[in-house]
């Protein structure tokens, strides 16, 4: 006899909070070690911090592929468990493992053969570009930890065990935080030490996640014996996962594009020998890390909604699906409001966390205050997109994020910058966030009418 899964019986407000809190905490810790990494690297020099900002799009792309695959596996496995189809759940988990290994191979090939091409597309001084290349080479060639850690965590989340998922992520993050100062300063490895600390942290997190699955996850196991890839398993994973990959990749594309725009608007070399765009790129890299930290609790809410919605959709329980939305959206808006207040009140001290220069502060303080107005809108878009992913439709999340982070953001940022300079670039985010939230509300309403209303009709 299998124990009844809490996702089908626990009151929804309590279930959402109890599942989201570990995810929020684990994602906050993950974001914190990105911030701590930036703090230590910034102490080397502003050029070193600029180098990690230039490297960040590739790192985000690795995370996008690993998280997208994991989210797809999460959505499929949770539905299979909800429908008590455990053999199908095991096959989906094993397929996710193979897909994760393929993703690892792709980024290893990129790091070995195509990294120099990427570096040539970046704006920055020769020294910053050289440091970026050294940092990224280590992160890409040893990226297996990212993929295995993410998959292990998503399998734990798929059966409602977000606490153990949190433990694995915290293990990796704390390892990174401890090793950063040791390798960067005590071992005199500089920016390469930051990369090695990141990789070791990812491998530790992966080991803990896989061990916890082996010991505690009795509903889902890897079924390697006689395994073969099947289209009817891969397609459902990527029906949700591919839009999520594209969604996550938008952050990488946006960062790369914004760095290029800032390089165009602020060309040339300053008297100190660094690129004029370096303070602006350093500010935007710092902002993105801070914004990620703020949005991690919101993403935790959204990621908690995926297995809850997926389980209850598989169990044909429409009332509980609606309650998830009524619980998660107000909480997300409250977090967005707190972030807006904080960023408006103390933008300077927040940027000084990364040892921001006076030039970076002159650009960043007004920029941060302009951008912070959009946080409530972004919080709603994020939660609605993840909720629709739980229903098997990752397109809402993908299009919403595309509107937030690429179209119309990037072309408008370039246009505003050409017309009014760097100081008005950030207003492009007002337009993109407003369009994104309007689309997400309408698309979620349509998705609920098609799928959740159909369950209610069937039940009646």
Spatial CA neighbour of 30 closest among 138, 146, 115: 146
- Residue 176 counted as domain residue: yes
Length of the chain, please? 460
Tokens linked to 428: 């492009």
Rounded to two decimals, the pTM is 0.78
Backbone angles phi, psi at 275, to 5 degrees: -65, 140
Core vs surface per residue 241-257: b (16+ CB within 10 A) or e: bbbbbbbbbbbbbbbbb
Evaluate whether residue 144 is within a structural domain.
yes
Cα separation of 71 and 393, whole Å?
12
Q: What is the pLDDT of residues 213-225, one digit of tens each?
A: 999 998 899 998 8
Residue ranges for the chain with pLDDT beneath 50: 1, 269-273
Return the closest-CA partner of residue 77 out of 207, 209, 204, 223: 223
* Closest of 150, 145, 178, 179 to residue 26, by C-alpha: 150
Quote the pLDDT of residue 269.
Answer: 47
Residue 379, CA distances (Å) to 158, 191, 338, 396 in order? 23, 33, 11, 14
Q: pLDDT value at position 271? A: 45
The full DSSP string for 315-333 is: TT-HHHHHHHHHHHHHHHH
CA distance 42 to 355: 6
Q: Strand, helix or coil at 269?
A: strand
Q: How many CB atoms within 10 Å of residue 176? A: 26
* Nearest-angstrom CA–CA distance, 448 and 102: 34
Asked if 447 and 396 count as a contact pair (C-beta separation under 8 A), the reply is yes
Please check whether residue 1 lies inside any domain of the structure. Answer: no
Q: What is the pLDDT at residue 388?
A: 92
Continuous H helices in 315-447: 318-345, 347-352, 358-372, 375-390, 395-405, 409-420, 428-447
> b/e per residue, 136-150, with b = 16+ CB within 10 A?
bbbbbbbbbbbbbbb
Residue 98, burial from CB neighbour count under 10 angstroms (0-12, 13-18, 19+): middle
Q: Which of 283, 272, 258, 262 is nearest to 352 (CA)?
A: 283
CB atoms within 10 A of CB 24: 23
Domains contained in the chain, number = 1
**Domain assignment present for 376:** yes
293 to 112, 268, 352: CA distances (angstroms): 31, 32, 16
Q: Does a cis peptide bond (omega within 30 degrees of 0) precede residue 408?
A: yes
How high is the pLDDT of residue 345? 97
Residue 1 is predicted with a pLDDT of 46
User: What pLDDT, in 10s, does the model give residues 330-357?
Assistant: 999 999 999 999 999 999 999 999 888 8
Domain-embedded: residue 5: no
- How many other β-carbons are positioned within 10 Å of the β-carbon of residue 177? 18
Task: Write out the residue range of the structural domain in which residue 235 sits.
Answer: 11-459
Task: Tell me the C-alpha distance between 232 and 323, whole Å.
Answer: 31
In this structure, the number of other CB atoms found within 10 A of the CB of residue 410 comes to 20
User: What whole-number distance in Å separates Cα of residue 47 and Cα of residue 282?
Assistant: 8
Q: Is residue 29 part of a domain?
A: yes
Rounded-to-integer distance, Cα 68 and Cα 74, Å: 10
Count of helices and strands (H, E) across the chain: 18, 0
| CA atoms of 87 and 94, how far apart (whole Å) | 11
Asked if residue 6 belongs to a domain, the reply is no
Looking at residue 367, what is its pLDDT? 95
Q: What distance lies between CA 332 and its chain's CA centroid?
A: 16
- Angle, alpha carbons 426-428-432 (nearest 5°): 130
In-domain check, residue 134: yes
- Tell me the Ramachandran region of residue 223: left when phi exceeds 0, alpha when psi lies from -120 to 50, beta otherwise: beta
| End-to-end Cα, the chain, rounded Å | 30
CB atoms within 10 A of CB 5: 18
């Amino acid at each position: 006899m299998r124990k009844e899964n809490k996702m089908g019986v626990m009151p929804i407000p309590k279930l959402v909070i109890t599942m989201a809190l570990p995810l929020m905490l684990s994602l906050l810790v993950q974001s914190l070690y990105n911030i701590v990494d930036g703090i230590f690297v910034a102490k080397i020099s502003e050029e070193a911090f600029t180098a990690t900002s230039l490297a960040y799009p590739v790192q985000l792309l690795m995370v996008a592929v690993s998280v997208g695959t994991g989210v797809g596996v999460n959505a499929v496995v949770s539905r299979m468990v909800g429908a008590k189809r455990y053999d199908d759940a095991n096959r989906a988990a094993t397929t996710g493992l193979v897909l994760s290994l393929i993703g690892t191979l792709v980024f290893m090939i990129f790091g070995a053969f195509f990294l120099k091409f990427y570096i040539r597309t970046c704006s920055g001084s020769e020294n910053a570009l050289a440091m970026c290349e050294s940092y990224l080479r280590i992160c890409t060639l040893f990226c297996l930890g990212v993929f295995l850690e993410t998959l292990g965590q998503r399998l734990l989340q798929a059966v409602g065990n977000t606490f153990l998922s949190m433990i694995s992520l915290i293990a990796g993050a704390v390892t990174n935080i401890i090793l950063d100062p040791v390798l960067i300063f005590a071992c005199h490895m500089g920016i390469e030490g930051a990369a090695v600390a990141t990789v070791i942290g990812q491998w530790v997190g992966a080991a803990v996640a896989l061990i916890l699955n082996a010991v505690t996850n009795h509903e889902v196991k890897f079924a390697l014996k006689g395994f073969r890839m099947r289209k009817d398993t891969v397609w459902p994973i990527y029906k949700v996962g591919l839009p999520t990959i594209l969604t996550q990749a938008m952050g990488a594309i946006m960062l790369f594009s914004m760095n290029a725009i800032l390089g165009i608007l602020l060309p040339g070399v300053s008297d100190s020998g660094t690129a004029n765009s370096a303070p602006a790129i350093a500010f935007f890299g710092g902002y993105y890390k801070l914004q990620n930290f703020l949005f991690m609790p919101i993403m935790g809410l959204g990621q908690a909604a995926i297995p809850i919605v997926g389980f209850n959709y598989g169990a044909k329980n429409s009332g509980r699906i609606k309650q998830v939305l009524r619980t998660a959206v107000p909480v997300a808006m409250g977090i967005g409001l707190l972030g807006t207040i904080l960023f408006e009140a103390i933008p300077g001290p927040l940027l000084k966390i990364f040892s921001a220069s006076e030039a970076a502060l002159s650009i960043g303080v007004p920029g941060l205050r302009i951008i912070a107005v959009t946080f409530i809108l972004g919080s709603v878009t994020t939660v609605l997109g993840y909720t629709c992913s739980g229903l098997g439709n990752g397109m809402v999340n993908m299009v919403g994020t595309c509107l937030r982070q690429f179209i119309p953001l990037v072309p408008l940022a370039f246009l505003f910058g050409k017309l009014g300079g760097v100081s008005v670039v950030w207003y492009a985010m007002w337009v993109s966030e407003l369009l994104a939230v309007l689309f997400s509300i309408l698309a979620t309403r349509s998705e609920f009418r098609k799928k959740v209303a159909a369950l209610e009709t069937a039940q009646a």
